[in-house]
Amino acid sequence: MEEQLLFIDFEFSMPDGKQYERGFYPEIIEAGIVVVRKQQIYKTISSYVTPVAFPKLTNRCKRFLGITQEEVDNGIAFSELNELFTELSANKKNKVVTWGNMDMKVLRDNCSKSNMSFPLNGDFIDLSMEYKRFFGNRNQTGLWKAVQEYGKDGVGKHHRALDDAMTTYHIYKLVEKDKQYMKKAEPTTIGDVVDFSKLFNNQLA
């Protein structure tokens, strides 16, 4: 079965201020996906998604994400996004990589609210936690701060789904490269340091 990596980032709807509208829950309104096969980018997918339960974006959401009402109104239905993931992950050995755990939480919740099956299968990796453990950080690091700590720049614009998914992919490659460097070499034995044949020959001479 072919292996593939799916780097996924979502942007969600959000309420105005701290007051939640009755029954409000975050809905996926933009999806960015980077599909990697054989260590190469196979395809990238970017799409706005039309919210259903709370179709009108709040002013706070539009300001924070820079997404317009027209863009989400012309987006794909959540059912189409769900179907896309089902097709992408079918018959593949998947590794699903996100920065943080909110993306998969909201996807699961949106599926539940829409009476749809969760479309992804495979291993799920929260790269922010791997990054935290690897570098021994006390707190989780934000996506763009993490890439800047590597002396790199994020891709495109922060809080745009495909740009963030691509940035996650770049950090994944950097962390994996560091892991290779950190793999412990075979422990040195005293036999590697002392040539016993010469030592014994000297004693016998």
Positions marked catalytic: 11, 159
3-state secondary structure at position 115: coil
- Put residue 199 in one of left, alpha, beta given phi > 0 → left and psi -120 to 50 → alpha: alpha
168, two tokens: 């996650």
| CB-CB contact of 170 with 152 (8 Å) | yes
CA of 41: how far to CAs of 35, 38, 204, in Å?
6, 8, 64
Terminal-residue alpha carbon distance, the chain: 64
State the DSSP H helix or E strand holding residue 12, giving kind and residue range, or none if neither.
strand 3-12
Question: In DSSP terms, which residues pair with 135 in a beta bridge?
Answer: none
Nearest of 23, 28, 1 to residue 12 by alpha carbon: 28
